[in-house]
Amino acid sequence: MGDCIFCKIANHEIPAEVLYEDDQVLAFRDLNPQAPVHFLVIPKIHIESVNALDDETFPVVQAVFKAVQILAKELNFADAGYRVVTNCGVDGGQTVGHLHYHVLAGRNLTWPPG
Ligand code: 5GP
Ligand code: ZN
């Protein structure tokens, strides 16, 4: 997708603080962090949202959670706990139309979210 900002980050066309990368996913720190640790995990291929996942692309969700697990250990917040969330569509609060999973850690997160 030519004008997708997360595709450009995935292609290293625009800079981001990358924490993890493999052949399927990229993890990078959120520009506007909502917790002491806040990063995004995205598939490298353009998928609009959860709604657009299909049998061909569902395996990327497994790769996302593998990256989450690796980083939770590496950044040392696995035991304290954390939140993984993906916003979908207008009511979900999605502002970037490329599937991404927020990972938030480093403070006691309130529930329910706003
Ligand atoms: P959403 O609201 O779609 O669930 O989340 C989009 C997230 O992407 C927001 O938390 C926002 O701060 C982050 N974001 C938007 N543009 C950029 C960018 O260019 N670089 C980085 N690192 N994060 C971004
Ligand atoms: Zn994209």
Q: What percent of the chain has pLDDT over 90?
A: 97
Residues with CB under 6 Å of ligand 1 are: 5, 16, 28-32, 40, 87, 93-96
pTM of the model: 0.98
| Secondary structure percentages of the chain, helix, strand, coil, to 5 | 25, 20, 55
Question: Cα–Cα distance between 70 and 77 in angstroms, integer?
Answer: 11
- C-beta atoms surrounding 6 within 10 Å: 23
Strand, helix or coil at 91?
A: helix
Given a contact cutoff of 8 angstroms between Cβ atoms, the answer to whether 53 and 43 are in contact is no
Assess whether pLDDT exceeds 70 at residue 38. Answer: yes
27 CA distance to ligand 1 middle (Å): 12
Mean pLDDT of 94-114: 97
Mean pLDDT of 37-42: 99
